[in-house]
Amino acid sequence: MMIGKGLAHTSAMVVSDADTAIALGSGDMPVLSTPALLALMENAAMLAVAPALGEGQTTVGGHIASSHLKPSKPGARVAATATLEEIDGRKLSFRVEAREGDTLIGEGTHLRFVVDRDRFLAKL
């Protein structure tokens, strides 16, 4: 495993009706849902370290804590950046932030764990 601090990735999306709080059941407004925003942050963290993982390895989310500061309407482009800040064995700690243009719309931390894909799935 060749994972090092500072690895980062930005994942982007254009908010669709399927990403809204109404569609996901997390609210009753036609705006980007918090679950969709958190998923974008997790995606960025997953992709930040994916190229550095060993054969058969992946990461799974363990915890996420984030604000959701401003609403985004369908059609808005939202980008989430995850940066690896700490490594403790298999535990990876990320700083995450999301922006719509230059406006910060969410920020927080995300914890992922490196796992062997086959062993992880065998536990199900």
Q: Looking at 42, 97, 100, 107, which residue is catalytic?
A: 42
Active-site option among 68, 81, 100, 107: 68
19 with 25: CB under 8 angstroms? no
Calculate mean pLDDT across residues 80-87. 98
Confidence of residue 2 (pLDDT cuts 50, 70, 90): confident
Residue 68 pLDDT exceeds 60 = yes
Judge whether 107 counts as a catalytic residue. no
State percent of the chain over pLDDT 90. Answer: 98
Catalytic residue among 34, 58, 85, 109: 34
Whether 69 shows a pLDDT value over 70: the answer reads yes
pLDDT value at residue 1: 54
Average pLDDT over residues 27-31: 98
Query: Sorting pLDDT into bands at 50, 70 and 90, what band is 29?
Result: very high
Q: Is 51:3 a contact under the CB 8 Å cutoff?
A: no
Q: 34 catalytic, yes or no?
A: yes
Residues of the chain above pLDDT 70, percent: 99
* 85-109 pLDDT, tens digit each: 999 999 999 999 999 999 999 999 9
Q: Which of 11, 1, 13 is nearest to 49 (CA)?
A: 1
Q: How far apart are CA 3 and CA 5, in angstroms?
A: 7
Whether 110 is catalytic = no
Dihedral pair phi/psi, residue 95, rounded to 5°:
-100, 130
Residue 122 confidence class, pLDDT cut points 50, 70, 90: very high
